[in-house]
Amino acid sequence: MEAPEGGGGGPAARGPEGQPAPEARVHFRVARFIMEAGVKLGMRSIPIATACTIYHKFFCETNLDAYDPYLIAMSSIYLAGKVEEQHLRTRDIINVSNRYFNPGGEPLELDSRFWELRDSIVQCELLMLRVLRFQVSFQHPHKYLLHYLVSLKNWLNRHSWQRTPVAVTAWALLRDSYHGGLCLRFQAQHIAVAVLYLALQVYGVEVPAEVEAEKPWWQVRWLLGIPDVPPFPLEVCIAVLTKFFLLIIHEERYGLLGSMEASERPVDGLGQALPQHSCHLGIPDVEQEC
């Protein structure tokens, strides 16, 4: 599949005055597109996480300027639906993406442009499978975080648990972590512990008997999983998470997601500039995540 003219990542990867924008910011915007499109398509949390992971892993293997990141994102959604057995129609993905970039526009007609975009998504999926060597199944932190939250809820007193939204915050932090490649740098158990640790720190909640314990709660072997799990670099994981959250704050505060110039806006699979759009994600419901 040929990349659009000027490189697939061209306009999406350029900042003010045509200067290259940091790759982390480009991936942040595209990952948010994956999350919002996944929600509109009715995808569950795990398929959305898989789509984000496939996207980040693909660009770990290739150059951002070689392919259109939004086309890769659409193909990642399509492929993740197959991997997680929540199959999606390419027509639905195209329509949701078109509505995302053109909130007030009309649905795409079933003309040559639609079929070219559909073929681009399918061909891009085959390319991604070859680049990733068909290794598109991942272990996500969700089941570990759920187990840790249940254990913590039984450990803390009821009043302390009910007056602090530790669970909601932990789930929100976990979802936001997929804006970057954290899922590829750390083990699933480590990410689950890190977001739970950060949520506890945010609300100043102390784990019972932590002062009297021989080691911090997050270093307990059963919590981290297998006996031969390597040492947990909590500080490094927290630092990476914090960097992602600072990027989120920066994007929201300065409106970069909703005020891109025409030269900065994303490009679809046909190489045509897409209109300005805005992004916003709500905090997930804990019951739905569980």
Q: What is the DSSP string of 90-123?
A: HHHHHHHHHHHH-TTSPPPPSSHHHHHHHHHHHH
> 35: how many CB neighbours lie within 10 A of its CB?
22
Q: What angle do CA 276, 31, 289 make, to 5 degrees?
A: 120
Distance CA(97)–CA(47), nearest Å, equals 17
Distance CA(77)–CA(232), nearest Å, equals 31
Distance CA(65)–CA(48), nearest Å, equals 24
Token reading at 212? 């009297």
The pLDDT assigned to 174 comes to 93
AA letter at 235 = E
Q: Backbone phi, then psi, for 167, in 5-degree steps? A: -65, -45
Which residue's structure tokens are 């490009």? 267
Query: Cα 14 to chain center, whole Å?
Result: 21
Token reading at 273? 């500039």
Distance CA(57)–CA(152), nearest Å, equals 32
AA letter at 39 = V
Give the model confidence (pLDDT) of 40-57 as tens digits. 999 999 999 999 999 999
Q: Among residues 124, 143, 144, 146, which one has the least CA distance to residue 54? A: 124
Distance CA(23)–CA(152), nearest Å, equals 37
Distance CA(48)–CA(115), nearest Å, equals 25
For the chain, list residues with pLDDT below 70.
Answer: 1-21, 210-214, 218-232, 251-290
Please check whether residue 197 is in contact with residue 169, taking contact to mean a CB–CB distance below 8 angstroms.
no
* DSSP reduced 3-state for 248: helix
Token reading at 83? 């991997």
The pLDDT assigned to 275 comes to 31
The pLDDT assigned to 98 comes to 92
18: left (phi over 0), alpha (psi -120 to 50) or beta: left
Distance CA(284)–CA(276), nearest Å, equals 26
Distance CA(158)–CA(167), nearest Å, equals 13
Distance CA(29)–CA(248), nearest Å, equals 10
* DSSP reduced 3-state for 136: coil
